[in-house]
Amino acid sequence: MIFIYRFLIGYVTIVFSGKNAEKLLNLFAKNNIKSWNMIYKNGYIKGSVDIASFKRIRTIKKDFNIKIHIKSKHGLPFIINKYKKRSGILAGAVLFFIILKVMSLFLWNIEVNGQKYVKAETVISECESLGIHKGMYIKNIDTKNTPQKLVLLNNKLAWASFNIEGSKLTVDISEIAKNSHGRNMPSNIKSNYDGIITKINASSGDVLVQIGDTVKKGDILISGVKESLSSTLFLRSSGEVYATTVEQYSSYKPFKERIYYSKPKIMERRIISLFNINVPLYFGKIGDIDVLRVKTSNLSINKEKLPVALIKTYYKEKTMRETEYKEKDIIEMLNKDIENKLNTEKYISVEQIDERKEIDSKGIKLIKTYKTERLVSYEEEITIDSIN
């Protein structure tokens, strides 16, 4: 605040010298002359005083045989004096900063932090349903009660808080641990694939299948519902069920293919974002690019961020070349692709039982069928809908 006050009234940085220079400093204190950053070095005293104090010094220095030199001028009065003949520029600059200040009183950006499974777009949409949206007056945001409403609205959130910084609202959230709820809730063990049961390891629940049984995706393997003559017992099922399954993998490759790759040179483009409106600072169109990183620098006054930012994007341009493959090379690439797909799954055993190729004028499709053994069970909570 002191700096702003000094900027508004104007001040000068002065250097004065003479035999009685130190006495002049004592006179400053007696006459309430405002000065700061006074430094004595090599017979010279350097410091700053406001305009009114400088005018008083000029009358006092005559009695002390002191030389005073103005090194620099600072503040709004000097700026106005410099541009007083160009009133249009000055008025435009003043109007610009007034508009920026007014616009900083409104919300122009909503950012979500702490999300892992919940999408940021979902949180922002839920905030909008609670009356929090871009363009609203910042002081109308209830940072105490609205986060609680957000948690009640989204049952995947454990906690939320709002933090306002300039014209940006940061929504900090903490999600409910994915497996923290329902640990003691009744559940069934179901099949995630079609297959023939090979092994059952059940530690709780009512086992409904036997080794050799054929099951379909969605069938209950171990039930969490136990019926008796007098009552029905609900419990959490626990166990693993394995089965043989038939899996089919395919891959396709054309004889001719356009391959895009990035050029080695790193390019930069700049955009000014003004109230969420992007103004490009470059000419022409930019084609396909590979974005490396984006740097955003916000304009701020007194540590208060304004809805104005310079966005720098660093990228590499992409170029294209056309490549033609032979049938032998394509078959090799297709086998490699199918092998990579197989390796992403956790099979206990894999046996290929069929293979066929579909060749046309454009390319080749390779189809392979495998007999596998794998874990097919997963746990699902018992709900009212599933009981009915």
The pLDDT tens digits for 41-81 are: 777 778 888 888 777 777 666 666 677 778 888 887 777 77
pLDDT attached to residue 182: 47
Tell me the C-alpha distance between 138 and 307, whole Å.
13
What is the C-alpha separation between 154 and 142, in angstroms, rounded? 18
pLDDT the model gives residue 55 = 77
- 334, 274: one domain: no
pLDDT (0 to 100) of residue 179: 52
Answer with the residue of higher pLDDT: 2 or 364: 364
Residue (of 341, 332, 386) closest to 364 by Cα position: 332
| Backbone torsion region of residue 177, taken as left when φ is above 0, otherwise alpha when ψ lies between -120 and 50, otherwise beta | beta
Tens of pLDDT, residues 206-260 = 999 999 999 999 999 999 887 766 556 778 899 999 999 999 999 999 999 988 8
pLDDT per residue over 251-275, tens digit each? 999 999 988 888 888 988 888 887 7
387 falls in which pLDDT band (50, 70, 90)? very low
Q: How confident is the model at residue 339 (pLDDT cuts 50, 70, 90)?
A: very high
Q: Provide the β-strand partners of residue 294.
A: 313
CA dist 246 to 200, 218, 344, Å?
19, 16, 16
Q: How far lies 151's CA from each of 68, 162, 175, in Å?
A: 66, 12, 10
Contact between residue 322 and residue 256 where contact means Cβ atoms under 8 Å apart? yes
Question: Do 331 and 292 share a structural domain?
Answer: no
Q: Extract the tokens encoding 232.
A: 């029905």
- pLDDT of 181 strictly over 50: no
For residue 119, give the amino acid letter: K
Confidence grade of residue 384 (pLDDT, cut at 50, 70, 90): very low
Q: What is the pLDDT of residue 280?
A: 86
Give the N- to C-terminal CA distance of the chain in Å, as an integer. 68
Q: Is residue 228 in some structural domain?
A: yes
Using alpha carbons, select from 76, 41, 42, 72 the residue that is nearest to residue 54.
72
Domain that holds residue 123: 109-175
- pLDDT over 90 (residue 309): no
Q: Are residues 253 and 358 in the same domain?
A: yes
pLDDT confidence of 198, banded at 50, 70, 90?
Answer: very high
Q: How confident is the model at residue 115 (pLDDT cuts 50, 70, 90)?
A: confident
- Residue 159 in this model has a pLDDT that exceeds 70: yes
CB distance 124 to 113 below 8 Å: no
Domain presence at residue 92: no
Q: Is the pLDDT of residue 386 over 60?
A: no
- 276: alpha, beta or left? (left if phi > 0; alpha if psi -120 to 50): left
Asked whether the predicted pLDDT for residue 292 surpasses 50, the reply is yes
pLDDT at 375 over 80: yes
SS3 177: coil
Q: Are residues 199 and 234 in the same domain?
A: yes
Supply the pLDDT for residue 87: 62
| The pLDDT value given to residue 366 | 96
For 219-243, letters b (16+ CB in 10 Å) and e give bbbbbbbeeeeeeeeebbbebbbbb
Mean pLDDT of 129-156: 87
Read off the pLDDT of each residue in 99-124 and give the average, rounded to a whole number.
Answer: 84
Quote the number of domains for the chain. 5
Do 61 and 27 lie in one domain? The reply is: yes
Tokens of 175: 């999600």
d(CA 84, CA 73): 16
Whether residues 149 and 225 fall in one domain: no
Do 328 and 253 reside in the same domain of the chain?
Answer: yes
pLDDT, mean over the chain: 83
- My answer on whether 162 and 270 are in the same domain is no
Provide the 3-class DSSP secondary structure of residue 261. Answer: strand
> Is residue 165's pLDDT more than 50?
yes
169 - beta bridge partners? 110, 164
Q: Is residue 209 part of a domain?
A: yes
The torsion angles phi and psi of 25, rounded to 5 degrees, stand at -65, -40
Assess whether 208 and 354 both reside in one domain. Answer: no
Which of helix, strand or coil describes residue 94?
Answer: helix
Q: How many CA atoms lie within 13 A of 290 on its CB side?
A: 12
Model confidence at 301, pLDDT cuts 50, 70, 90, reads low
CATH assignment at residue 27: 3.30.70.260
Rounded to an integer, the average pLDDT of 295-314 is: 77
